[in-house]
Amino acid sequence: MGGPEFLSVSTAPAVGDRDLRVSDAEREHVGQLLQRAVGLGMLSLGEFTERMDSALAAKTRGELNVVLVDLPGMRVHGAPQPAAMPRPARRATPVGTDPTMIRSRLSSVHRRGAWQVPPVLHLHNLMSSIELDFTEAVMQTQIVEIAVDDYLSGLTLIVPPAATVDLNGLELIGSGVNNRVRTGPPIGPLHLVVHGRIRWGSVTAKYPLMTQLRRAFGRL
């Protein structure tokens, strides 16, 4: 009889919690935590945008937890809490002092009447409703560029009858676009070029109600 036989078993290194792959549900959970942090004043809208982009791109729990590292009590379940990194000091900017920026959170913003429209307008909004009415606005240039970086927000653009709107430069993530006006070329007094990113929101471009009614009855 021969001696005892031993089986050789190769074992792969154990995968730590930080290296586990994350699901869409976990990314969505982190997004909810980040929204809560904005509501509590822990994050600015700009920080929320940066961290949400990182969360959507995260593949492991370790990468996903990085966006929550300095938020007390917020982390992905099952992943160890990394050591907190010092946050850079932020300079306070007086609200409403920049005419080229519309920034809001959990708000409703309207621009109507003879408001001054800059050549480039930046929109940075979270869970808000934004209405920009250009029918009586004072334009500095024929072509107005609108750079959008919005989360969970609705943007409505109301333009004069001869205006055109180009929405082809928008990147949409779980969002919708409804363009009810001509797209161009810019032959009228106003041409809006809208680009940027919309996450779980909507954009609507339309003429004033009376213009829509005249056109509808004109077709009868």
The two structure tokens encoding residue 87: 């946050």
- pLDDT at res. 48: 81
The predicted-structure confidence for 15-72, as pLDDT tens digits, reads as follows 567 788 888 888 878 887 887 777 677 887 778 888 888 888 888 888 888 888 888 7
Supply the pTM of this predicted model: 0.60
Positive or negative, the Cα torsion across 29, 33, 38, 43? negative
